Structure 1
Amino acid sequence: MSERADFARYVTAYLGLHLPGQRNLSTNTIASYRDAFRLLISYLGERGKRPERLSMDDLGRDTVEGFMAWLTARGCSDSTANQRLCAIKAFVNYVKAEDPARLLQHQQVLAIRQRKKAPAPMVLPGRGGVAAILARPDASTARGRRDMVLLTMLYDSGARVSELCGITLRDVRLDDPATVTLMGKGRRVRVVPLMSATAGLLRRYIDETCSRPDASDLDGPLFPNSRGDRLTRAGVADIVARHARGARESGASVPDGISPHSLRHQRAVDLLESGVNLVYIRDLLGHRSVITTEIYATVSVARRRKLLEEAATAPKTRDYPDWSEDRDLMSWLKSLC
């Protein structure tokens, strides 16, 4: 490979050494970065550039902006396109230290702004909706009991779906106080307390599925699929959507669009409305900054306003006196003109 065709060398070092070794990023994050480069190489390939001959000279501002437009033409949302842009900019920032000769080109790429997008509405099932969803699994079947414990854990821990999928038996502590250890974004570990009712469900579930675990079992998934492997994010989303749909069809007030993240959002709002400090909620959810958590304060205020408006009885027109029937007042008003 010539020195000019240096793109592959930088990408290999970035994905294979820098991200897992120096940044200590999770497998899912590295896979997301990898997908961004696969798409970028496909885009450049359609323009006659062979992967093995790509140079960092090919990764200028015009190329990246053209790649963003190509993603949009393929039907990617602004959010997805921004994720791809973040991956490329992080890579360019890494190369910048290794390749100062192209510093101006790299700065031009880093100056590309993300696309503005309207924030997605936060879909909340409400406390009644959560109760209806948790009541849907059939506790008479092994699959139903798994779903019941999974949904309860998802709400009680406020876990992201990827964090829930990664829970092993080793991560669960059932002795008082009961806790679960979650591996969050950037491999940040946090310990989340569990309610006693959730701990009781977990204890019975583990006794049923793995009554005498050996050392190897402790590293197995807490919620396996039918093949004994970890549930995927899509699998958990299907479980949540299925039981939310069942609750809605049974007459419960459960909105459309309920996802695993909806239960995480609802947990945060419920804690806030119960008077829990935002700093504690930040730690529970694994946010780096309380600024991220403050969005739930806005949601909670809007939710309280809606509930008050629904509970208040608006006065009807006939409750007010009809001033048009007061002839003296009407005469006085007419005299003003």
Structure 2
Amino acid sequence: MATDFAVLLHRFLTSHLAGLRSCSPNTIASYRDTFKLLIAWFRDCRAIPPDKLTLERINADAITAFLDWLETERHNSISTRTQRLAAVSSFFRWLQSQDPTRMASCQDILAVPAKRQAQPSVNHLTIEQTRRLLAQPDRSTRRGRRDATLLATLYDTAARVQEFADLTVRDIRPQPPALAVLTGKGRKTRHVPLGDNTAALLNAYLTEHGLDKPGHDDYPLFTNQHRNKLSRGGIAWIIGKYQASAGDPALAGADLSPHVLRHSKAMHLYEAGVPLPYIRDILGHVDLTTTEIYARASTEAKRKALEATYTEIVTDELPEWNHDTALLTWLGLCAVIDPQNHCHQALPASAAHNPALFIRGCCFPGPVQYLPAQVGRVRRDSADPGLHPGQTSGSQPAVSGGGVRNCASPPPR
């Protein structure tokens, strides 16, 4: 006889996800794989066979131990761990509405926290790298023209790889205004505009392959040699082939995938000044905060913002030291210092009218902001802060002949 867990899990996967929520086959497969791993963990780590696994045995402690096992024993990443937790949480969130008597235990499991991780940087190509990649296919051959159209359309639509693989002839309108209709998560559709160059490539491609004729609307847009639609792995393989042939060390060393082209398009749109809400709609994001990763990651946008902010504050003009006679006089005074750090140069009488600023015991006659950093820190006389320029302890302020300043005490560091 089936356990309560088996019965409810079957209803969740077949009726709830596939029926009510209209989840894609890939989403359902991801949820299914999560529970396959959970059942295997109970069998191997808790010695509970699948036919004995009941809801009573599944609690918050067990889920936490399962997640730790994924990370330590199966070497899954933190993002994969979080994805598995999301699938488990979705099941127990649904279970609350099906059986309110289990709400307390369900909420304990829903309270299991996701493991935090550093926000990864957005991996993307520069515009020049993207242009070089898209130029790699040999357009003198039928296969090369197919691949050139594929790469241009994948970049221009910023589609998720499964959205792109699912494209049919019906989903493309190459006539102005050209657009592609993408079906994303939750079976939601969105219209993405296409550039003129991409539309021209698609028009030629449809004509060459006879896909512009009536009766071909439901044909896959891009197919393999067996006339079946390209898989996600096949699309990634095509990208990798042209990445290797590009001859660009930076491009060859990049972690390139279909999703990186999606990131690249989004980043290029943002750096071109396209508002984030428009980028969100093109990418098919539900929440604008998801799209904001491109605003945080765009170094070029940050640089432009900083330049616009500080243009009038930070200047590239430097002081003309050779025209500053007061500074030159002071530098000449400070040059007359013997190895014992004693200054034997008499200060001029005019120094008595300047602030009592001493560097290595010499009077600096100019404004504080022009003190060069190389000569040490500015200080007043540490022994007697009330001394005037040219005055030593126990003496009167300097007059027309100037005075001698003892420089034995170096400035504080």
TM-score of the superposed pair, with normalisation by structure 2: 0.73
Q: How far did residue 109 of structure 1 move?
A: 0.3
- The equivalent of 1:22 in structure 2 is 20
- The equivalent of 2:150 in structure 1 is 150
Q: Partner amino acid for 1:299?
A: A
CA contact (8 A) 1:123 1:255 kept: no
Q: How far did residue 241 of structure 1 move?
A: 2.4
Q: Partner amino acid for 2:125?
A: P
Higher helix share: 1
Task: After TM superposition, list the pairs within 5 Å mapping 1:1-337 onto structure 2.
Answer: 1=1, 5-46=3-44, 47-72=46-71, 73-211=73-211, 213-215=213-215, 217-247=216-246, 249-250=247-248, 256-301=254-299, 305=303, 326-329=331-334, 332-335=358-361, 336=381, 337=411
Once residues 186 and 171 of structure 1 are traced to their aligned partners in structure 2, the CA distance between those partners, rounded to angstroms, is 17
Once residues 137 and 14 of structure 2 are traced to their aligned partners in structure 1, the CA distance between those partners, rounded to angstroms, is 42
Q: Partner amino acid for 1:42?
A: A
Q: Partner amino acid for 2:27?
A: T
Q: Deviations over 1:198-253 (max 9, x none)?
A: 111001111112245453x3222111122222222222222222222322x24676
Distance 1:306 1:70, change over 3 A: farther
Q: Deviations over 1:154-211 (max 9, x none)?
A: 1111111111111011111122211110011111100111111111100111111224
CA contact (8 A) 2:124 2:267 kept: no
SS for the counterpart of 1:120 is coil
Once residues 67 and 24 of structure 1 are traced to their aligned partners in structure 2, the CA distance between those partners, rounded to angstroms, is 28
Once residues 25 and 213 of structure 2 are traced to their aligned partners in structure 1, the CA distance between those partners, rounded to angstroms, is 27
Once residues 107 and 71 of structure 1 are traced to their aligned partners in structure 2, the CA distance between those partners, rounded to angstroms, is 22
Q: Deviations over 1:9-35 (max 9, x none)?
A: 001101011111111111111111011
Once residues 170 and 132 of structure 1 are traced to their aligned partners in structure 2, the CA distance between those partners, rounded to angstroms, is 30
Q: Deviations over 1:76-130 (max 9, x none)?
A: 1111111111001100111112222222211110000111112222122100000
Q: How many residues align?
A: 326
Once residues 327 and 261 of structure 1 are traced to their aligned partners in structure 2, the CA distance between those partners, rounded to angstroms, is 65
Pairwise CA RMSD of aligned residues? 2.7
Q: Partner amino acid for 1:202?
A: L
- The equivalent of 2:366 in structure 1 is none
SS for the counterpart of 1:258 is coil
CA contact (8 A) 2:206 2:212 kept: no
CA contact (8 A) 1:138 1:144 kept: yes
Flag structure 2 segments of 5+ consecutive residues without an equivalent: 308-315, 336-342, 344-357, 362-380, 382-410
SS for the counterpart of 1:191 is strand
Q: Using CA pairs under 8 Å that are at least 6 residues apart, name the structure with larger relative contact order, 1 or 2.
A: 1
SS for the counterpart of 1:225 is coil
Once residues 191 and 162 of structure 2 are traced to their aligned partners in structure 1, the CA distance between those partners, rounded to angstroms, is 16
Once residues 97 and 53 of structure 1 are traced to their aligned partners in structure 2, the CA distance between those partners, rounded to angstroms, is 24
CA contact (8 A) 1:125 1:255 kept: no
Based on CA coordinates, which of the two structures has the bigger radius of gyration? 2
Once residues 80 and 113 of structure 1 are traced to their aligned partners in structure 2, the CA distance between those partners, rounded to angstroms, is 14
Structure 1 residue runs of 4 or more that deviate by more than 3 Å after TM superposition: 211-214, 250-255, 301-304, 306-309, 329-332
Distance 1:147 1:176, change over 3 A: same
Once residues 165 and 112 of structure 1 are traced to their aligned partners in structure 2, the CA distance between those partners, rounded to angstroms, is 36
Q: How far did residue 270 of structure 1 move?
A: 1.7
Q: How far did residue 48 of structure 1 move?
A: 2.2
Q: How far did residue 43 of structure 1 move?
A: 1.0
Q: Partner amino acid for 1:128?
A: E
Flag structure 1 segments of 5+ consecutive residues without an equivalent: 310-314
SS for the counterpart of 1:159 is coil
Q: Partner amino acid for 1:136?
A: Q
SS for the counterpart of 1:297 is helix
Q: Deviations over 1:268-303 (max 9, x none)?
A: 222222222211111111111222212212222456
Q: How far did residue 329 of structure 1 move?
A: 4.7
Comparing 113-122 and 250-259, the one that deviates more: 250-259
SS for the counterpart of 1:88 is helix
